[in-house]
Amino acid sequence: MKVVQLRIKNFRGIESAELKFDGHALLLGGNNVGKSTICEALDLVLGPDRLSRFPPIEEWDFYNGKYLEPPAAEGEDPKPVEMRIEVLLIELSPEVEKRCAKNLEFWHVAEKRVLDEGEVKAAIPGIAIPCLRLETLGQYDPEEDEFSARTYYTHSPDAIDGEKQEVQRHIKRLFGFLYLRALRTGSRALSLERGSLLDILLRLQKVRTGLWEQAIARLKQLDIEKDAIELEPVLTAIEDKLSNYVSTTKPGRKTKLFITQLTREHLRKTMSFFLALRDDQEAVPFQQAGTGTLNTLVLALLSFIAELKPDCVIFAMEEPEIAVQPHTQRRIAEYLLNHTTQTFVTSHSPYVIERFTANNTYLLTRVAGMPLQATCVVDATGLKENDYKRYVRRGLAECMLGQGVILVEGVTESHALTALARRMEEQDATLNPLDLAGVTVFDAESDGQIPKFATFFQALGIKTFGFYDFKKRTTVEKAKFTSSLDVDEEHPYKGFESLIANEVPASRIRAFLQELLDNGLDTTQYKVPATIPTDDAAIQKLCIALLSSAKGAGWAMRLLEGSKANDLPATAVGFLNKVYGYFHPPNPKPSAPTQNNTP
C-alpha cells in the first residue's frame, strides 16, 4: 500500500498543498517549512488512534490558529473554518480491497490521476488500478464549544443525503501506518498506552490478556494497614465522627486504605518497561536508558511490527539520526527502504540522505502566499541519478542541507579555500564563519562540471559561488557559468598552484618548503633540492611543481594555515569576501559610539 497523493488545506503551518509521491520519500527543507506537518497530516488520516483523543485537534492545528471566519455582516455569527487533509492510496492489500470495495475508485497509472465516473472504458487492468481516497475534516463547533475531526471515504456511493461514509478505526488499522516522532515517541513507545508501539504490537499479534483486571484485583488485596497498625485508632476516630453526620448500615469497619485508585487507563500510562543494560546493573525504567539506546529500542519494535505485516507497512519517521551513530543511521535508513512498502522520512543527516535515491528525495519549499511545494530532486535539477549516487557521499548530501556552496574544480582548491576561510575568520572577528553559516566547499572535480552542479544547487534554492582556473571559453560556454553562479570567479591563472606561487610571498613559500624538509620530505620522490633556492622565480617554479605533484597531500592548505594576513593570496581572499557578503553574522554587535572631542 502506498500514498501517491496528499492534499492539505488549513493544517498547522500549511495553508494549502498538493503533493505527489512515487514510493519512498525523503523530505528535505529548512526548519518550519512543513516536513513534520506532512507526517502529522498522514497520521490524522491513516493513523488508527490519533482521532480517538479528546479533542482530536485543537486551535493551533488550524493554519495560523484561525478556526473561525469573522462574520460577513454585523450581528451574524462567525463561520467555522474547515481543515481538510486528503490521502490517495494505491497498491491496496487484498483485505483493504475487500473491506472497502464499495468505496474504491481507479487510478490511471501513466497519467497519475483518478478516473472520472464517465471513464469506465479506461479502467483497464494494468492501465488503471484500484485506489482509495480518504479525507479528514476538522472544524470548530461553536454550539458545543468543541473541536471535531473525522475521516471519511471521499467516494461514498452508499452515503445518505450526500454525506460521506466515515472510516472506522478497525479499517485504519489495515493501512499499517506507523509514525515515529523525533524526541517524542521514545517516552511512550514501550509503555502500554493506547496507540503506543508496544500496544500496537500486542494488538497485531491478537494478544488478549486479563492483565488489567488481575493487576487491579491484586492492588486491592494489598493490606497496607497491617503494616501500619498505628493508623487503627486514627481511622476508628474518623469513623466515629463520620457516624454523627452520615448514616451507614455496613457492619464493622466502614473505612479502608487502598494502595491506589488507578483505573485500567491510568495503569496503561504508569506501567513501564524495565531494561538491564549491563552485568552490574539492575533493570531500570526504559526512559532512563541513553537517548541513542532508546531510539534503537524503538526501531527494534518498529521492525518487529513491520515483520508482522510485511505487505502493508507505511512508516513516517522524523529525524531517525537523533542520538545514534552514523553506522546505525545507515542501518535505520537501509531497513526502512528494504522492509517497508513506503516510508516518509525527514532528516538533516548526510548518512541518511545518501541512502535515498534522487528519485525519492523531495525538496520542500514555501513562499508567502503560495502553496507548499514538494519537488523531486531529479525533476527540479536535471541531475542524473548516476551523478547523484556518485557524489552524494562526497559532499553533495551536506551541501543540500546548507545555505550556500562554493564550487571548485579540484581537491587542492577544496582544501585550500577551507583553510583560507578559517585564517580570514581568525583574523577578522566581524566575519560570519562560513561553516556556521551553512556554506560548504564542493569539489566538482573539473571546471566543466561546475555549471552542472551549480544548476542543481540553484534549483534547490542554495546560493552558488564558483572559483575556477582561467581558460579560453566560447561565449556559450562562459554563459553556463554566469547563469548558474551567484558569484562567478574565474581567476586569471591557468592553475590554482600558479595562483599560490604568484600571490603568496616567496619568503613564506621558502619557509614552508624548509618546514617540509625538516619534517623528512622525500626529496628524490618530489624532486626538491636539499638546499632551498634563494631566487624568487626558482621558488615560484618549485612551488608549482611540488603542489601539482601531490594534489591530495594538503600542502596548499598547510601553506595557507601558517600564513599571516598579508601573506594570503589576494585573488582568493577577494573571492571569499564576496561570499561573506551574502552571509552576515546573525546578531551583529552594535558599534561603539564615536566620541566627539571637538570643544
- The CA-CA-CA angle for residues 48, 51, 53, to 5°, reads 115
Q: How many Cα atoms occupy the beta-carbon half-sphere of 112 within 13 Å?
A: 8
Question: From the CB of residue 56, how many other CB atoms can be counted at a distance below 10 Å?
Answer: 18
Largest CA distance in the chain: 116
Mean pLDDT over each residue of the chain, to the nearest integer: 85
Confidence at residue 144, expressed as pLDDT on a 0 to 100 scale: 87
Stretch 562-566: mean pLDDT: 91
**Would you say residue 189 has pLDDT above 70?**
no
C-alpha 461/C-alpha 466 separation (Å) is: 16
In sequence order, what are the residues at sequence separation of 6 or more whose Cβ sits closer than 8 angstroms to the Cβ of residue 581? none
C-alpha 138/C-alpha 360 separation (Å) is: 30
Confidence at residue 183, expressed as pLDDT on a 0 to 100 scale: 46
The model carries a pTM of: 0.76
The DSSP line for 69-112 is EPPSSTTSPPEEPPEEEEEEEES--HHHHHHTGGG-EEEETTTT
Confidence at residue 111, expressed as pLDDT on a 0 to 100 scale: 92
In this predicted model, which residue has the larger pLDDT, 249 or 385? 385
pLDDT in tens, 433-443: 999 999 999 99
In this predicted model, which residue has the larger pLDDT, 208 or 44? 44
Residue 502, all three cell numbers: 604568484
Confidence at residue 394, expressed as pLDDT on a 0 to 100 scale: 78
Give the C-alpha distances (Å, rounded to integers) separating 550 from 321, 329, 500, 513, 523: 36, 35, 14, 14, 13
Residue 211, all three cell numbers: 492483565
**Would you say residue 306 has pLDDT above 80?**
no
Stretch 108-120: mean pLDDT: 89
Confidence at residue 598, expressed as pLDDT on a 0 to 100 scale: 43
pLDDT > 70 fraction of the chain, expressed in percent and rounded: 91
* 125 CA to centre of own chain: 37
Stretch 538-546: mean pLDDT: 89
**Would you say residue 334 has pLDDT above 70?**
yes
Least confident of 95-104, 353-362, 515-524: 515-524
The DSSP line for 343-372 is EEEE---HHHHTTS-GGGEEEEE--TTS-B
Can you name the residues that pair with 274 across neighbouring β-strands? 285
